Structure 1
Amino acid sequence: MNESLFLGIDGGGTKCRARLRDAEGNFLGEGTGGPSNIRLDPDLVWNSILTACREAIAQAGLQEADFKRIHAGMGAAGAGQTSAVERLMSRPHPFASFSIDTDAHTAWLGAFGGGDGAILIVGTGSCGYGGVGGRRYYVGGWGYEISDEGSGAAIGREALRRAIWAYDGRMASSPLSDAILSEFGNNPEALVDWVGKARPSDYARYAPLVLQHALQRDPLGIRLIQDAAAGMAQIATRLLDLGAPAICLFGGLSEPLRPWLPPPLQQAVTQPKADALDGAILLGREASPRRPR
């Protein structure tokens, strides 16, 4: 019972997921925990991680003492910030080894098994990431205020901007702009108050509304979704130009927006070999000591 075990952890802003496999890759268990963006308080993050891991090992019929033979890999939101990684790793952990990288990296590891390829994540935010010839590339993902093209937050931001244009008479109103303005009582001051407190997820809440109106041939909805797809296409094209042979799409908006991409880019899209949790397991395997044969 001293065989190594491998745990993959996917840490996001709202929840943490963990998956446990044995040395042969057999599935043993999964678990979930709370928020685990590592820019949060490290004690909170470790609590979320360990909650998910305890659930996974319990499902596998294992005990807490088995942590010491687990090699863990974590793909985490916020792991691109060195200071956040250092804060998290300043706390002790119970694992045989623990490796951390960005959630984009582990999604890519899962999608291509460490081989050449690129991923495009399109959800509340957006980010392109690729690995080609041993080199890693990030494209986009600098935050919705100045980047994150094609994301839910960017779509919502632009929808609200255009609604104000319609209110001012700078562009023709549409059912979509009317629907947005009605949420604020047709009062731009109420919208400005809302913007002062809004987070990216608040903006992203408008993306489904925009998609719905686009499919109903609302001219504003169509224009916004075309612009979002163009932003996605720009990121994807850059990744292909860097040498990626194919692209995998991730995130809640990737499939709804995929039909709006130019046909050549749609043809470059492929299905991932595995998900981000298995990518995190691969990260843990890569960092674990190799046994002599």
Structure 2
Amino acid sequence: MIDSLFLGIDGGGTKCRARLRDAAGNLLGEGTGGPSNIRLDPDLVWNAILTACRAALDQARLGEADLGRIHAGMGAAGAGQSSAVERLMARPHPFASFAIDTDAHTAWLGAFSGNDGAILIVGTGSCGYGVVGGERRYVGGWGYEISDEGSGAAIGREALRRTIWAYDGRIPQSALSQAILAEFDHSPEAIVDWVGKARPADYARYAPIALQHALQRDPLGLDLITDAAHQMAQIATRLLDLGAPALCLFGGLAEPLRPWLPPPLQQVIVPPQADALDGAILLARQATQEPLVRRRR
């Protein structure tokens, strides 16, 4: 009998990461590939997945012939969009099985090993996600245009908005507003031109600047970071109200903003048991052994 292998895949807009374990859970290899946001062309996504997988196989001193005994699980941003998943799964693949879910779900699987709990992801965007009694719940994560509260993109967007207020004289100038204005040669028109082309990551570049000024007690920086922490707390509190017994934080801004959260929330934050790649491996195992938890958006 051929032993099964389990592959966890983290599909992101910048790169694809893969981790290979054997049936006993031993780490065999890891690899990376190109951009793998599943809203991209499916052929490009599969190329990124297979590039990362083959790099992991190479580390494990395995080869192409071993692809057929791999059970793969993938966590991907955009996997909540069924049309994108259908386009990807319409392409043939070489694996014994392939399961896909959102990156929030695989992060939760890794954090709590499939047990009740909630996660709050705070990076360029933000999203809350929890599973209690087998039922999934998302809170937020609807995109930076109308949601993603507390995220880097939201902080940056608000920093620019309030910089314009300061320029108009509606609020006092501060070191932060002056620093942002200086980047645009003190021209609100230049800010408007920039906004027309800006993406979420462009806005998020201003979040660390706002945090740095907040730590220096700049009034505008303090307002921005205090507001972001309050919005994070609203998402977290909703997840706890739904029955989650504990909370894990993920994302580049999670730890920098954690000290700004209220003490009652601090007490329920726990370290994750594992990362999203091992969560994706657990997804692959579940797909071959047991039904997935029910989903509710």
Calculate the TM-score normalised by the size of structure 1: 0.98
Distance in structure 2 (CA, Å) of the matches to 1:171 and 1:213 = 17
User: Which SS does the other structure have where 2:267 is aligned?
Assistant: helix
Output the aligned Cα RMSD. Answer: 0.8
Amino acid at match of 1:236: A
Shift of 1:94: 0.5
User: Which SS does the other structure have where 1:65 is aligned?
Assistant: helix
Amino acid at match of 2:203: Y
Amino acid at match of 1:237: T
Shift of 1:288: 1.9
1:143 aligns with 2:127: no
- After the TM superposition, which residues 18-33 of structure 1 pair with which residues of structure 2 at under 5 Å, given as runs? 18-33=18-33
Amino acid at match of 2:150: G
Distance in structure 2 (CA, Å) of the matches to 1:234 and 1:70 = 41
- After the TM superposition, which residues 57-206 of structure 1 pair with which residues of structure 2 at under 5 Å, given as runs? 57-206=57-206
- After the TM superposition, which residues 26-45 of structure 1 pair with which residues of structure 2 at under 5 Å, given as runs? 26-45=26-45
User: Which SS does the other structure have where 1:171 is aligned?
Assistant: coil
User: Which SS does the other structure have where 1:54 is aligned?
Assistant: helix
User: Which SS does the other structure have where 1:288 is aligned?
Assistant: helix
> How many aligned positions are there?
290
Q: CA deviation digits over 1:174-215, x for unaligned, max 9?
A: 000000011000001110000000000000010010011001
Distance in structure 2 (CA, Å) of the matches to 1:280 and 1:96 = 15
Amino acid at match of 2:7: L
Distance in structure 2 (CA, Å) of the matches to 1:5 and 1:18 = 13
Shift of 1:289: 5.4
Structure 1 moving runs of 4+ over 6 Å = none
Shift of 1:109: 0.2
Q: CA deviation digits over 1:208-228, x for unaligned, max 9?
A: 100110011101001100000
Shift of 1:2: 1.4
Structure 1 match to 2:5: 5
Calculate the TM-score normalised by the size of structure 2: 0.97
Distance in structure 1 (CA, Å) of the matches to 2:144 and 2:247 = 22
Distance in structure 1 (CA, Å) of the matches to 2:120 and 2:155 = 16
Gaps of 5+ in 1: none
Identity %: 82
User: Which SS does the other structure have where 1:104 is aligned?
Assistant: helix
Distance in structure 1 (CA, Å) of the matches to 2:13 and 2:265 = 30
User: Which SS does the other structure have where 2:142 is aligned?
Assistant: coil
